[in-house]
Amino acid sequence: MSRNNEPLRPVAMTTLLTTDLIGVSRGRSFPSDELDSYTSAGCGWVPANSALTPQDIIAEPNPWGARGDLRLIPDLASRVQVGNGPDASASPLDFIHADICETDGQPWAACPRTLLRNEVQRYASELGLQITAAFEHEFNLHSATAQPERLAFSLQAQRQGADFGGWLLSALRAAGVEPEMFLPEYGKHQYEITCRPTQGVAAADRAVNVREITREIARQLGHGLSFAPKTAEHAVCNGVHLHLSLQDLDGAPVLYDPQSANGLSRLGQRWAAGVLKYLPALCAFTAPTPISYARLQPHHWSASYACLGQRNREASLRICPTVSIGGKPVAPQYNLEFRALDATASPHLAMAAVLIAGRLGIEQGLTLRAITDEVPDELSAEHRQDRGIVALPASLPQALDCLRNCPELLQALPAPLLDTYFAVKHQEVKLTEHLTPAQLCEHYAHLY
Ligand code: GLU
Ligand code: MG
């Protein structure tokens, strides 16, 4: 029975959020004014949720079945709060990234955020290194009423997306995401949003924040939005580019050496050689859906071979340009861009996997050979073989096979996480193998 007849007001909610193995953010919400009662022991969660395919079907068999209980433990420093945007009546966005724990507080072996945190800590404790990273996102945007196709990179395309972009930058600023640029891209109705780099786990959290806030602004404006790697058969692809640099524990950059031909330090060369050595297997995490392979093609400015290039947008790992105008120092700008990545990947899992590969490269003292500033597809097969430039997998099943045959990566990852991941991806392949290329584009355009 109601105690008075005061008009009701909606209760503001906070969500404890986990971004799962397939890059989908899920969680549970409660009244924001009760946050105190959730800070230490979090809220409940279910192991088999991690076995969901993008098609929203729990993969069978999976390691969890109907058994078990977990907790989502909030990392309070990661809270995102965005006040009302274009839809003044929308309930404000308020979520906190969480780690998945057992009910006794032990870390859960299949939590991607915990995996990334462990790897970041390992860099610090074993290599004396810190990681700075930023994820750039491309996406397609369609307003509710059909709009003409504008020219690539044009002011007209910018103006068409300017209302959306303005709200987006405002919301990202409010969330502490430090947005940099909103820009029209090469494709029709394609835009890109970039933000400043940050350290460690917060960089992957920030990628989630960018995706979810971008979706929220699109929802409030009634726009259609997709981050999927390819949204139509002849569409320009949407990539995610992961910029990474390493610093020592005092914050001094360690990837740059002015004496080296391309500026990459000895340590950086080993790190890059590790990423390239394991790249075919890494694709299982960074290009993790069947549609990802429509993007990883030559002449797409994405990645089709495992090679490093200086300012070469056909290279899977790119040495980014540095600017010397005005005497700007190079070392703090110097970074590597991992391009074999798209938004169907979990930012935490993908970043952890790339870091593991780079660490293995350092530990094994690998020599970097796979370098080219040509389109790798246009080199002769002998030249590629000579340099150790190998083709990336042509499909998700091929990438999963590369991972299955990579003992070093398998050993570096928790078995329950791998078992769940293989179960999900196996089921996803089965659920989509009957789709034509055009249907596959449409299918994933709706899911991501
Ligand atoms: N759209 C390209 C991709 O799929 C990237 C283009 C660019 O370099 O910005 O990754
Ligand atoms: Mg771009």
Model confidence pLDDT, tens digit, residues 76-125:
999 999 998 899 888 899 999 999 999 999 999 999 999 999 999 999 99
| Helix/strand/coil for 433 | coil
Residues of the chain with CATH 3.10.20.70: 13-51+62-109
31 CB burial (10 A radius; 0-12, 13-18, 19+): exposed
Selected from 3.20.20.70, 3.40.50.300, 3.30.70.420, 3.30.590.10, the CATH number assigned to the domain covering 113-323+330-447 reads 3.30.590.10
Mutate to test the pocket of ligand 1, among 136, 283, 339 (most ligand atoms within 8 A of CB): 339
117 contact partners, CB below 8 Å, separation of at least 6: 99, 200, 201
The per-residue pLDDT for range 224-243, each reduced to its tens digit, is 999 999 999 999 999 999 99
Residue 231 near ligand 1, beta carbon < 6 Å: no
Q: Which ligand 1 atom minimizes the distance to the CA of 339? A: 10
Ligand 1, atom 6: closest residue by C-alpha: 301
- CATH code of domain 13-51+62-109: 3.10.20.70
The per-residue pLDDT for range 183-223, each reduced to its tens digit, is 999 999 999 999 999 999 999 999 999 999 999 999 999 99
Pairing of strands 129-142, 93-102: unpaired
pLDDT of residue 146: 86
Sign of CA dihedral 22, 23, 24, 27: positive
pLDDT of residue 3: 67
Residue 138 near ligand 1, beta carbon < 6 Å: yes
Any idea which ligand is nearest the CA of 192?
A: 2
| Helix/strand/coil for 45 | strand
In degrees to the nearest 10, what's the CA dihedral of 345, 27, 118, 197? 60
pLDDT of residue 377: 87
Q: How far is the CA of 109 from the centre of ligand 2 (A)?
A: 35
Residues of the chain with CATH 3.30.590.10: 113-323+330-447
| Structure-token match 């726009």, residue found | 223
The token pair at 53 is 């395919």
224 contact partners, CB below 8 Å, separation of at least 6: 140, 141, 142, 143, 144, 218
Residue type for position 312? N
